[in-house]
Chain A
Amino acid sequence: MKFAVVVFPGSNCDHDAQYAAEHVLGQQAELIWHKDTSLRGADVVILPGGFAHGDYLRTGAIARFSPIMQEVKRFADAGGPVLGICNGFQVLLEAGLLPGAMLRNANLHFHCEHVYVKVEQTDTPFTLACSTTRPLSIPVAHGEGNYYAEPEVLARLEKNRQVVFRYVDASGQPTAAANPNGSLNNIAGICSEGRNVVGLMPHPERACELAVGSADGLVLFESAVKAVSERALATSR
């Protein structure tokens, strides 16, 4: 199967996502320039981390106008799995593919550290192989990851089980101390109503090998592979 990793000017985790999919997981992964208008038959789309267009306006605010985003929307509307990581999550918010917005981290500093996140929902294409009991150790690295949504939007997210990832401590509790950026309800990642579009601030692609400190993020990519093959099986029936 094939991953498409979209490259915006200023993306800087594009190579990391490609490396995880291609070298760690052994799948195909192609970099797609943001001015392209085709996803070239990809089964999964990743919007990677970075600083698209320098993030000089709101993060992700300009990237949503890139030509490739029309195609990403079409792909998502058709139920295709889309994963936005960090800046990619911010782009999904700006593009309206996911609800809510990002504020600056509560302490106003960029923050890079391994944190624990709990997977709460396993019915998305990026979490179906995950366990909901053991928290994952995955790094965050962002200055604007403080998730915000209007109260009614937040209530709807919780009610619809769209909060997929939550910041927790090592024992799995969503404490204030475990929240690295001030996100409402310790939210680290959410999915769309259709559940096929997922965005999260932590970087699973940076946690795919024990050599770099953790392999806990790999299960998200493995989930995608499983999801795509199950989907193919379902359509072939």
Chain B
Amino acid sequence: MTITNDLVAQHGLTADEYQRIVEALGREPTLTELGIFSVMWSEHCSYKSSRVHLKTLPTTGKRVLQGPGENAGAVDIGDGLAAVFKIESHNHPSFIEPYQGAATGVGGIIRDIFTMGARPIALLNSLRFGSLDDALVRRTMAGVVAGIAGYGNSIGIPTVGGEIAFDESYTGNPLVNVFCLGISRADEIVKAVASGAGNPVYYVGAKTGRDGIHGATMASAEFDDRSAEKRPAVQVGDPFMEKLLLEACLEVMRSDALVGIQDMGAAGLTSSSCEMGSRGGAGVEIDVSLVPQRESGMTPYEIMLSESQERMLLVAKRGREAEVERIFEKWDLHAVRIGEVTTDGRLRVRHSGEVVADIPNTALTDDAPKYRRPVSEPAYLAEARRLDLAALDQSVAPRDAFRRLLASPAIASKRWVYHQYDHMVRTNTLVLPGMGAGVVRIKGTKRALALSTDCNGRYVYLDPFLGAQHAVAEAARNVACAGGQPIGATNCLNFGNPEKPDVMWQFVRAVEGMGAACRALDVPITGGNVSLYNETDGRAVLPTPVVGVVGLIEDAERVGRRPFRSAGDVVVLLGDSRAELGGSEYLKVVHGTIRGVPPALDLVREAAVQRLLVESIAAGIILSAHDCAEGGFAIALAECCFDSGLGVSTDMGAVTDGEAAFIDISTLFAESASRVIVSTSPDNVETLLTGAASAGVPAAQIGTVGGDRIRISVDSRLVVDESLSDAESIWSGALERYFERARAIA
């Protein structure tokens, strides 16, 4: 078959890239080879637009056992154990087919974790949708939630946290980012390498079908009105098969008969075989006619590019074949030998003996194209950063704004969502979802881990550098509020089309900001995922670099929690409050606008606040802790009351730098960073305040826990006085009402 220009273009390759393929091979490629190159050089697999920038992120540290480049990262958590974790996106498939798109996203990230030899113990997800007033968005969200539940619940890994935000820009392009964490022995981390000439290469798991062919290429293009036609590129998940694979693979790993293993995720058999070979400096030779197939008449091209789910490629030690096969048989799985490791560093694919592809592994991996794409500051920025408060409607009273914010889907309780997730299986969940960071204990040790994913896309939109810093700071602050010392991070960078200089500018600035924040807070990025082309009909989503942070809690009996503890406890606010309404939930909900500059962030201060939290929670001085995020101080304070049965009365003075007409509003709802509402017993107030002073953290005693109302004064003026039960019922039922109402109409 001749390779025409059209065919090259259909494969998403440029003329230049095609020339490089011809040079790498020293000849024209076969069709199968063209397919292999097209998926390996797709944005999704090659990170061709992002790699040069990702290199600037800090990835090392004294606890880092595995940085980027493997299936997942790993950090040392003491007791001879490692936390293995990563976050990954499944955005494009989740728009096309919400249930299966989300479900297979969960399946994919779980495989990444257990292929490292770790038993997965926790899932989180970071979701973004359009406005819930839109029926299509509700359908998408309901499907995504059901898909996450359907997969995670069935396989028996608890979904312990995450976050959900809403913005119209996500209407046709939801974000579904899934984080998974597992535990392994620190000295038994398994690598995805193929080495040792003559070692057998095995295929295990589900049969290969025609589903998902070119899934990686789909994830590397924008959406348009023909996207629905791409449905055959979404795969169907089988959590039961994955559960068997998980147990069988962990058993094989304990046997010491394994050399390396990788799951067949994006680009399926192609990426797993060439990447394993490339990492091991070896070649891999396989015969695709031996691959178990679900459909008849599949071509080598289709078999190599299929993204059928729940499949693994593994290299066993020669002579140990029977042992490996026996373990898989026990779990009713069939390990099929499809090839062997060679010494020539090439991926050689045969079909019934005949060679159909023969490519140097490095041409597909390390030597894939890398671009430093042009950047330019987006045109919208100058205007969007201008915030003129005087021009806003001033008739909305603080009390009404407070109620509207409590009912905002981004702030309201996510109970409707997490009640669909099994969040308790494995009996490690110390802090239930909806309470800030998820906290899981590590059985057999005294320790626990706090996990949080965060990103405020509005901040990143208004200032990518600062916004990405906020994402790191907030995720780390959330784990610190649970008493966890942040020790590692993973990122999922969701942006628009990198070929547009303004989108690329957002990306580059965000990566720079993220790197700076990670260095300042000493949280290395150990891996992650980039998802570009998140656009529909030419409009990009809010730039959303999600950060997942892992925090180590030394004593599982000393965990920081959000709800207030006892009446009479003293409320202390850590951090400085300023009239920073830029990019706030208040502006979005009450005035329908995304404007201004995001709150300032002093990373030295941030680090000091987090240290103080970790130390004071461990010492038992801080009894509850919750950071001020969307909705500012007032909403954070209300959230401290929810699930505690306790009201509160506070007066934090007033912000002094704001516009006169907006003093109350700014005091209540501005989102100044590095602020945490904590409570302590009256006996410990002095200790806490002294400790804060010596840590360089501003701390003010602002009120008392108790009663059945939420009373917030600004400079002695009572501006919010709400019954706790009313406020809590607005907050806890708001999200559910969108879906109940929808069902009533349907």
Contact = CB atoms under 8 A, between A and B. Distances in A.
A112 B331 contact: no
Given A50-B156, A211-B441, A56 B240 contact: yes
A111 B420 contact: yes
B419 A51 contact: no
Nearest to A15: B426
Given A16-B427, A19-B427, A141-B425, A211 B420 contact: no
Interface in A90-137: 109-113
Given A110-B149, A110-B153, A16 B425 contact: yes
Contacts of A15: 426
Interface string B18-43: 00000000000000000000000000
B482 to A, nearest CB: 14
Given A51-B154, A110-B153, A112-B422, A211 B430 contact: yes
Interface residues of A, number: 33
B424 interface: yes
A54 interface: yes
Nearest to A209: B427
Contact of A54 (B240, B331, B418): B240
B240 A10 contact: yes
Given A9-B331, A10-B243, A56-B240, A212 B422 contact: no
Contacts of B150: 110
Contact of B557 (A49, A51, A206, A211): A211
A61 to B, nearest CB: 14
Contacts of B422: 110, 112, 141
Contacts of B243: 9-10, 12, 51, 54
B714 interface: no
A64 interface: no
B657 interface: no
Contacts of B556: 211
B428 A212 contact: yes
B421 A112 contact: yes
Nearest to A51: B154
B424 A112 contact: yes
Contacts of B421: 110, 112
Nearest to A180: B419
B427 A9 contact: no
B423 A13 contact: no
A209 B422 CA distance: 18
A111 B238 contact: no
A161 interface: no
| Interface-central residue, A13, A110, A203, A209, by most chain B CB under 10 Å | A110
B595 to A, nearest CB: 38
Nearest to B431: A213
Interface string B666-700: 00000000000000000000000000000000000
| Interface-central residue, B238, B332, B425, by most chain A CB under 10 Å | B425
B619 to A, nearest CB: 19
B101 interface: no
B425 A13 contact: yes
A49 B425 CA distance: 9
A53 interface: yes
A20 to B, nearest CB: 8
A110 B99 CA distance: 14
B239 A206 contact: no
| Interface-central residue, B155, B331, B424, by most chain A CB under 10 Å | B424
Contact of B240 (A53, A109, A203): A53
A139 interface: yes
A51 B425 contact: no
A139 B418 CA distance: 14
Contacts of B425: 12-13, 16, 49, 141, 206
B494 interface: no
B420 A110 contact: yes
A206 B149 CA distance: 19
Contacts of A9: 240, 243-244, 331-332
Nearest to A7: B247
A113 B155 CA distance: 18
A141 B153 contact: yes
A158 interface: no
B432 interface: yes
Interface in A190-230: 203, 205-206, 208-209, 211-213
Contacts of A206: 424-425, 427
Interface string B492-532: 00000000000000000000000000000000000000000
A21 B422 CA distance: 22
Contacts of A77: none
Contacts of A203: 424
A109 B419 CA distance: 9
Interface string B283-323: 00000000000000000000000000000000000000000
B420 to A, nearest CB: 5
B182 to A, nearest CB: 14
20 contacts: A9-B331, A10-B240, A13-B156, A16-B426, A50-B156, A51-B153, A54-B154, A54-B238, A54-B240, A54-B243, A109-B149, A109-B419, A110-B421, A112-B422, A141-B153, A141-B425, A209-B427, A211-B556, A212-B427, A212-B428
Interface of B: 146, 149-150, 153-156, 238-241, 243-244, 330-332, 418-430, 432, 441, 443, 556-557
Given A208-B427, A213-B424, A213-B432, 5 more contacts: A23-B443, A51-B240, A109-B420, A111-B419, A211-B557
9 closest A-B pairs (Cβ-Cβ)? A12-B156, A54-B240, A141-B422, A51-B154, A16-B427, A112-B422, A110-B149, A110-B420, A206-B424
